[in-house]
Amino acid sequence: MMPNIWPFRRARPVVSVLRMAGVISPAGRPFRGALSLPALATSIEHAFAMRGVRAVALAINSPGGSPVQSALIARRVRVLARENDLPVFAFIEDVAASGGYWLACAADEIFADRSSIVGSIGVVSAGFGFADAIKKLGVERRLHTQGRYKAILDPFRPEDADEVQRLSIIQKDIHEAFKDHVRDRRGKRLKGDDAALFEGEIWTGGQARALGLIDGLGDMRTILRERFGDKVRLRPVAPPRRWFRQRLGLGLGLGGLAGADSGDLIAGLLDAVEARALWARYGF
């Protein structure tokens, strides 16, 4: 009689699932809960090191944010994909716009829902001008600098055309880096000239597929079963518990803010307003 060798049967294929949801922003503020390389580094490492992993899936839902953090996260994904010789799939949920699409391009293949919002390949800088407001209030602005552009675009001074031009030069350089990343990752799959693809326009998933910005329509489970069989196991990567939440008892609701000082509270509320404005830009 043949011995029972069930422990040695071929294991079911595993795909690790790394969730990237939220505004992309530099780390450092405890209320942000945003995407940054410091916040994601451990999870990214775990996704590629998971036992028996055959591929890594990125579940993306982001309206964008910091171009630097977008580039750093995408670069880390690509480095580990090459080192481990693993394919990477991106699955866009509601939106992958601006930096969110930058992240999606770290994948070898990108999928979305037909109604997902995709694109916004451009650069934006927004702010307010308070020069007239403080004048009406009788407030005198006192600002002393060394360096012509040290206080560039200060919101309490009238806008300066030369400073705006300097900002435009910076934005153009960042925009070129974004375009180079998309061209490098999407290559000949792109359909359309620069005017059609790189002027900050957004599209639905169906339109994005026609332009070659994504590879197909479908949800994660269906696509990965088609690629790896019905027995594929989708294994979410658990995010590391945040030290400050454990120590301060901060929850997801406003009740968790009780342990924070007023400065952090104000910063957190401002961050929430900023994040809400980014989502609202795409109807969410």
Q: Which of 85, 100, 112, 84 shows the shortest CA–CA distance to 35?
A: 100
Distance CA 22, CA 264 (A): 20
Question: Which pairing describes strands 109-112 and 14-21: parallel, antiparallel, or unpaired?
Answer: unpaired
Distance CA 95, CA 89 (A): 16
Distance CA 18, CA 222 (A): 17
Distance CA 143, CA 148 (A): 12
Helix (H) or strand (E) holding 163: helix 161-186
**CA torsion, points 246, 249, 254, 255, in degrees to nearest 10?**
160
Strand partners, 91: 59, 111
Helix (H) or strand (E) holding 74: helix 67-84
Q: Identify whether the C-beta of residue 96 lies closer than 8 Å to the C-beta of residue 104.
A: yes
CA-to-CA dists, residue 219 to 65, 82, 222, 248, angstroms: 25, 25, 6, 38
Q: Which positions are annotated as active-site residues?
A: 98, 150
Q: Identify whether the C-beta of residue 53 lies closer than 8 Å to the C-beta of residue 16.
A: yes
Amino acid at position 219, single letter = D
Supply 246's token pair: 């454990």
Q: Which of 43, 48, 99, 39 shows the shortest CA–CA distance to 74?
A: 99
